[in-house]
Amino acid sequence: MNTEPPTGDDLQRMLVSMKQNVLEHAEERHPKPRRHRSRIVIATVALLALGTAGGAVALAVVPQVQQAAPAPSPTTEPSVPASTPASAPVVDTPAPKPSASSAAAPSRYPTDCRALYSDADRERFFGRAPLTQTPAHPDGTTVPAPSTMRYGGGTWTASEWLDCAWADPRADISGIRVIIGSASAAELSGREDGLRAAGADCAPGDGGTVCTRTYRPDPPLADGTETSWWDGDGRWITITQVNSPTSGLLSATIAGLSSDRVGPGSWVVSGAGVGPITIGSAYQDVADEVRAVVPETTGSCPNPNVGIFGSGDVSLVVQQADGKVTGVEASAMTTAAGMGRGNTLDQLRAAYPGLTRTPGYGDDSSPAFAYWSVRDGDRSVTFEMDEGGDLVTGVWVGDDPRPPYEYCG
């Protein structure tokens, strides 16, 4: 299989074709005929067209960090994507293998999948494909205990820091999954032997060792690629890609491990607000803090009491009155329970037994665009559903349990 990723016009044609084939109505989360709302809505459109690591990847089979022997998934069946020359470059200068004494125990590790990449790279690699991060809110200091994990060449024992799956949950197996962690030199050496035995090509590259192979996912709709990388400090990365060619993803991920970028992925949605956006705070102070990590995109919105911020799949709409924040809608942040965009109604009910239906602005006999709320402190956290009433498209926190009828009208 030729795993050379397309570039230039070929890549653009592929992306356009993929976007047209995936979920034709994915961007019509809030059609105007029903709610007549002109508010900004970030649809969970899969950049990775023929699907994007379906629910199986994005929601169902993402293993927990300390879960032993996780169920097979796009990355548990294989452990490292087959090489795409651009996404897994191999250099000629050999890198020393980890010494027998090396074991990963960093003082801090990345806690935000989005912050691994620059805004430009995140847009280029993933577009607006929804992200499912596991664990949702790691503290970055307590390294998860090593656990047994399956991969294409067998099993190995390692710590898993972050599991990042970019995929539309309603799509097929297509998507991109990036997992990072730490392991001892002995485990990494044994894993390399297992990968070679499974048909992977391994060589020095990107300051460590790179192993790549092609695999057949289940269901076998298309070949997938796995790329595994690790260095002498015991850090490792596993990338799996199906129908989602990229250029430079591995190199960007490696750079992100040591980056001091700050991203909103660690912001938690609660009854108090979203991350630094707390209800009742001075709007200007909040806007200044948000702009530092998420560009403002308010643009031509004529409502002076609304601030809109967005980058890639991240979208925030902040409402104010008399200079104070009165509400915020987030499209990509989750609650402490990990609930947010892309979760199902059944998952919301399992996480929040007290979940209740909040009346909307029109006919509430239909599940379409329904509001479901849970009480958290002095306010409600409200989940906004899609046109089928099945998936969360955004989360609202405000003095009113309902998000505004419209933001810019």
State residue 255's pLDDT score: 95
Q: CA dihedral defined by 308, 287, 340, 312, rounded to 10 degrees? A: 60
Look at residue 283 and give its three-state secondary structure.
helix
Least Cα distance to 314 among 32, 60, 114 occurs for 114
Name the CA radius of gyration of the chain, rounded.
21
Structure tokens at 98: 């980890």
* Cα dihedral 168→169→175→176 (10° resolution): 100
Give the model's pLDDT for residue 265. Answer: 76
**Three-state secondary structure call for residue 174:** coil
Q: What's the sign of the alpha-carbon dihedral 17, 20, 22, 28? A: positive
CA–chain centroid gap for 46, Å, is 12
pLDDT at residue 300, rounded to an integer: 86
Tokens of 132: 């499912």
What string of pLDDT tens digits covers the 409 residues of the chain? 444 444 444 444 444 444 444 334 334 333 333 343 433 333 333 333 333 333 333 323 333 333 333 333 444 444 433 333 333 333 333 444 444 334 444 578 999 999 999 888 998 999 888 888 899 888 888 899 999 998 888 899 999 999 999 987 666 778 999 999 999 999 999 999 999 999 999 999 999 999 999 987 666 667 889 999 999 999 999 999 988 889 999 999 999 998 888 778 779 999 999 999 999 999 999 999 999 888 999 988 999 999 999 887 789 999 999 999 999 999 888 999 999 988 999 999 999 999 999 999 877 888 999 999 999 999 999 999 999 999 999 999 998 999 998 999 7
**Distance between alpha carbon 328 and the CA centroid of its chain, in Å?**
20
Nearest to 120, CA basis, from 267, 311, 316: 311
pLDDT of 279 reads 96
DSSP string, 49-106: TT--STHIIIIIS---TT-SSPPP-TTTSSSSPPP-TTTS---SS--PPPPTT-B---
Write down the pLDDT at residue 177.
95
Determine the Cα–Cα distance for residues 157 and 60; give it in Å rounded to an integer. 22
This prediction's pTM? 0.63
Expressed in angstroms, the distance from the first to the final Cα of the chain is 52
